[in-house]
Structure 1
Amino acid sequence: MPLTVLTRSNLRELLQSLSRDEIQNLQRNLAQALREYSTGAQDKGCSATYQPQRTAITRQNGCTTLFMPATNGQTIGIKMISLQDGGAAGCQVEKSGFDGNESDSGSGSRRRGSARNSVASLSSDMSELSVGSSQEDGGSISPMATPAGGGSSTDSSTLLSGCVNQQPVTANANVSKTLGAWPGAGTRDSSPRGSVTLLDGESLPFALINAHELTAFRTALASLMIFNKRKKVRTLLVFGAGNQAYWHIRLALTLRGDDIRRVYIVNRSFDRAAKLLQDIYSPENSSWRGDAKFSAMSSDFGEYNRILKEHVRKADVILCCTPSVDPLFPADFLTSREGRQKGRLIMAVGSYKSHMTEIHPDILRDEVNVTPPHRHFHKHTRRSGVIVVDSLDAAIKEAGEIVQAGIKPKQLVELGELLMVRHATLNDEGETEEKGLREWTEKGNVIYKSVGLGLMDLITGGDLVKLARERNLGTTVEEF
């Protein structure tokens, strides 16, 4: 049995060569697997009831290694990744994240009960949801301010494209001795180190893939399934400047580049933000970068809080790609009357433990706290009552925002369930979901929280191995 080995550089070369059609095909295959994960019976290989449990081991040095097995019925895979997160030494096996009121007698019945019911209630509630229309841009905001002690902010129309804290960044800029390849003082590299091993139907290994690029790429593929449906994606706000941020930005522009005008990047480290802009503005990226304008800001910049508030309020899409243990911005930026004047898509993919939180828990509480319709004289977007997650089981245990906000299983809906609703209601005329649900996904306030699934690595990794073999990329061991 031949074994294909894809190193990090092999995989990055492959991913950067993908066409828009190839990316869309990868996304469709992953969407089908997520539908089966959320809604399939046990005879469906991707079903959640058929997935093995995860195990984590933390060594004495504080390095946690996560073992994530998965299957689609034909292929079996296991992802092993390690992160230096300072945890207490020991071994932990995944257990049910539900309290005593959530019966676990028969995992299939539990999922079809609590999880599926959340979609049913969402579909019915959406018929009464009055989604406020997004206001059109009434002029450009001031994306960067002068350093502390300076004067007023500078209008965005006067800014150079590709700048950090008003300092221009070019492909040849000497940002630091390491060009941001290593985190600066006070920063953390949250990129996972490890691999994905794939086995065929006879349990023979046929692929070994470096997990660094694959993790970021497959996470972005899943996140952007909702993004693809949004009516307005003119302005993107991205927290973080690592691999997750890069692939979310790249895929967003590849899929919806004609609609995106501005990308704001916020990061703790100046060097890493500058390195990301160097990558984006390199000549080989001009094909997907398009006409979008980029600018970045580090947290030590003058008037940071004021500018951050403007960015958050202006954004149509907010991407959170950091391992932050503290909220990235205050809750009232979005929960106040001014913050609720437009619907946004908020995606949080960086935090992965219960003590971490990128989005303030009060934002999630506000989202699930649905009030009855009433007369009002100020325009705002009503809340949906749910948070979208990739895995209900995993989010209840691992998503810090959800844990800290006290969100209940009935207030969560899986991404695969939303895809199922759309898929099940297609008809011969091509008409799609129930109107209220469609309006919510297109224009309403949507919060998506991802902690990752081994199934994502298995499905996307398998597809990428096929493409790599077609292009003679990687190393093949003919008789492993």
Structure 2
Amino acid sequence: MPLTILSRSNLRELLHSLTRDEIRTLQANLSEALREYSTGSQDKGCSATYQPQRTAITRQNGCTTLFMPATTGKTLGIKMISLQDGAKAGCAIERSGYDADESDSNSNSRRRVSSARNSVASISSEMSDLSVGSSQEDGGSVSPTATKDSGGDSTDSSTLLTGCVNQQPVISKTLGAWPGAGTRDTSPRGSVTLLDGESLPFALINAHELTAFRTALASLMIFNKRKKVRTLLVFGAGTQAYWHIRLALTLRGDEIRRVYIVNRSFDRAAKLLQDIYLPENSDWRRDVKFSAVSSDFGDYFRILKEHVRKADVIFCCTPSLTPLFPAEFLTSREGRQKGRLIIAVGSYKAHMAELHPDILRDEVNVTPPHRHFHKHTRRSGVVVVDSLDAAIKEAGEIVQAGVKPKQLVELGELLMVRHATLNDDGQSEEKGLTEWVEKGNVIFKSVGLGLMDLVTGGDLVRLARERNLGTTVDDF
């Protein structure tokens, strides 16, 4: 069995060479895997009930390593990534989530599938009149009851066991909300090992670029369905920010007009802009206008508020301990005059938060309707996540906001509901769900899954072999 080794530079070269059609194919394969993860039985290899548990160890030097095994039923893999996060030394294995008394995995799988199917009727009846400019202030929620299981790129071994929340201030003094100057690089270091159905290794991939790329692929599944993506706001200037911007413009660049980048360090934001404006990036960059701002700017608060209010899509890609902007930017009457897609992928511990908890509370706590005469976007009643069990324990925004499991819906469940309601013309018959995804207020929180690395990594290895990229060991 030949073994293909993709270094960080190999993988970056491959990712930069991908066409729009190839990216869409990668995204479609990942979409199918996430749908099976959320709704499949144990007969489906991608099903949550068929995924091994992860383990984390923290060494005496404060470096935490997370071991994330996964399987599609046909291939196996494990991702090992480390961060110098200063946690206490020890070892932890992931426990089942909030529903610990459910021991039968097959029963859990059936419960998960039934939940997702029941959500079709729930979304149809409760969201059929959800729109911008409705004549009612509130009312109508999407509440598909999600269940477990887990995954995610957290590296805090304590959250694997307890999910405890460290009390943190909700807004930093600068409103920038990033770790202070000199803080360590939060990008994970490690690798992904892939094995075939006979447990023979066929690939070894550097995890840094893969993690950012596959996260952006998942984030943009909802982005692809949005009606309006004219203005993007991106918090952060690292690898995650780069791939969210690049994939967004590659997939829908002809509709995007402005990209605002907000970062604590203006120098780093400027470096990101330099990379974007390289001559070889002109095809996907097009004539989109970019601008950058940092928390050092004298008029930062006013500019930040203006950017948030103008944005059609907000990408949060920072390891922030405190919210990136005040909740009222989005929760006030002015803030809810239009629907936005808000994607948060940067925080990875229960005490971290890119979004103010009040933003999530405002979205999920639906009150009885009453008449009004101002334009607004109605509350959906849910937050979308990649893995419910992991989000409940590790997503700081969700933990701190006290969002309940019934107020969360997995991305895979949304994909399943849409797939189940397509008519012969390929159009969804669920008008409420379609309007919400296309125009409503949608919050997506991602903590990551080992399955995402396995599926996307395997596809990338096949493309690398076609392009003769990487190092091949013929008889490993």
Q: Into which bin does the TM-score normalised by the smaller protein fall?
A: 0.7 to 0.9
Superposed displacement of residue 107, structure 1:
3.5
- Superposition map of 1:256-275 within 5 A: 256-275=252-271
- Superposition map of 1:355-374 within 5 A: 355-374=351-370
Distance 2:180 2:432 in 1: 47
For the 8 Å contact 1:132–1:444, the answer to whether it is kept is no
Distance 1:298 1:239 in 2: 10
- Superposition map of 1:13-412 within 5 A: 13-98=13-98, 103-110=101-108, 112-113=110-111, 116=116, 121-132=122-133, 185-412=181-408
Bigger relative CO (Cα 8 Å, ≥ 6 apart): 2
Superposed displacement of residue 123, structure 1:
3.9
Distance 1:218 1:189 in 2: 20
For the 8 Å contact 2:119–2:417, the answer to whether it is kept is no
Cross-structure match for 1:179: none
Distance 1:409 1:262 in 2: 36
For the 8 Å contact 1:187–1:268, the answer to whether it is kept is no
For the 8 Å contact 2:3–2:203, the answer to whether it is kept is yes
Alignment partner of 1:13: what SS?
helix
For the 8 Å contact 1:352–1:451, the answer to whether it is kept is yes
What one-letter code is carried by the residue in structure 2 that aligns with 1:242? Answer: G
What one-letter code is carried by the residue in structure 2 that aligns with 1:440? Answer: W
Q: 1:55 to 1:120 in 2, by over 3 A?
A: farther
Structure 2 length normalisation: TM-score?
0.88
User: Which of 458, 465, 469 is matched with 1:469 structurally?
Assistant: 465
What one-letter code is carried by the residue in structure 1 that aligns with 2:7? Answer: T
- Per-residue CA distance 1:229-268 (angstroms, 9 max, x = gap): 0000000000000000000000000000011000000001
Distance 2:124 2:89 in 1: 44
For the 8 Å contact 1:328–1:360, the answer to whether it is kept is yes
Q: 1:208 to 1:433 in 2, by over 3 A?
A: farther
Superposed displacement of residue 371, structure 1:
2.0
For the 8 Å contact 2:39–2:47, the answer to whether it is kept is yes
For the 8 Å contact 1:119–1:418, the answer to whether it is kept is no
The answer for unaligned runs of 5 or more in structure 2 is 135-178
Distance 1:49 1:99 in 2: 14
Q: 1:292 to 1:187 in 2, by over 3 A?
A: farther
- Per-residue CA distance 1:212-232 (angstroms, 9 max, x = gap): 100000000000000000000
The range that moved more, 79-88 or 444-453, is 79-88
Superposed displacement of residue 99, structure 1:
5.5
- Per-residue CA distance 1:96-142 (angstroms, 9 max, x = gap): 22067xx4232443455475356653343112423338xxxxxxxxx
Cross-structure match for 2:5: 5
Distance 1:295 1:111 in 2: 47
Distance 2:280 2:300 in 1: 32
The range that moved more, 229-238 or 57-66, is 57-66
Distance 2:303 2:431 in 1: 36
What one-letter code is carried by the residue in structure 1 that aligns with 2:107? Answer: S
For the 8 Å contact 1:119–1:417, the answer to whether it is kept is no
Distance 1:243 1:260 in 2: 21
What one-letter code is carried by the residue in structure 2 that aligns with 1:109? Answer: S
Superposed displacement of residue 471, structure 1:
0.5
Cross-structure match for 1:166: none
- Per-residue CA distance 1:58-77 (angstroms, 9 max, x = gap): 11111111111000001000
What one-letter code is carried by the residue in structure 1 that aligns with 2:288? Answer: A
For the 8 Å contact 1:187–1:269, the answer to whether it is kept is no
Alignment partner of 2:45: what SS?
coil
Q: 1:15 to 1:204 in 2, by over 3 A?
A: same
For the 8 Å contact 2:191–2:205, the answer to whether it is kept is yes
For the 8 Å contact 1:118–1:412, the answer to whether it is kept is no
What one-letter code is carried by the residue in structure 1 that aligns with 2:20? Answer: R
Distance 2:62 2:382 in 1: 35
- Per-residue CA distance 1:145-176 (angstroms, 9 max, x = gap): xxxxxxxxxxxxxxxxxxxxxxxxxxxxxxxx
For the 8 Å contact 1:235–1:315, the answer to whether it is kept is yes
For the 8 Å contact 1:184–1:269, the answer to whether it is kept is no
Structure 1 length normalisation: TM-score?
0.87
- Per-residue CA distance 1:366-415 (angstroms, 9 max, x = gap): 00011233210111101100000000111111101001111111000000
Q: 1:246 to 1:301 in 2, by over 3 A?
A: same
What one-letter code is carried by the residue in structure 2 that aligns with 1:124? Answer: S
User: Which of 423, 429, 448 is matched with 1:427 structurally?
Assistant: 423
The range that moved more, 451-460 or 265-274, is 265-274
CA-based RMSD of the aligned residues comes to 1.6
Distance 1:242 1:430 in 2: 37
Superposed displacement of residue 431, structure 1:
2.2
The number of residue pairs the alignment matches comes to: 429
Cross-structure match for 1:160: none
Alignment partner of 1:455: what SS?
helix
What one-letter code is carried by the residue in structure 1 that aligns with 2:82? Answer: S
Superposed displacement of residue 433, structure 1:
4.1
- Per-residue CA distance 1:322-347 (angstroms, 9 max, x = gap): 11010000001101111010000000
Q: 1:476 to 1:391 in 2, by over 3 A?
A: same
Cross-structure match for 2:140: none
Runs ≥4 residues deviating over 6 A? none
For the 8 Å contact 2:132–2:337, the answer to whether it is kept is no
What one-letter code is carried by the residue in structure 1 that aligns with 2:125? Answer: S
Q: 1:232 to 1:187 in 2, by over 3 A?
A: farther
For the 8 Å contact 2:45–2:72, the answer to whether it is kept is yes
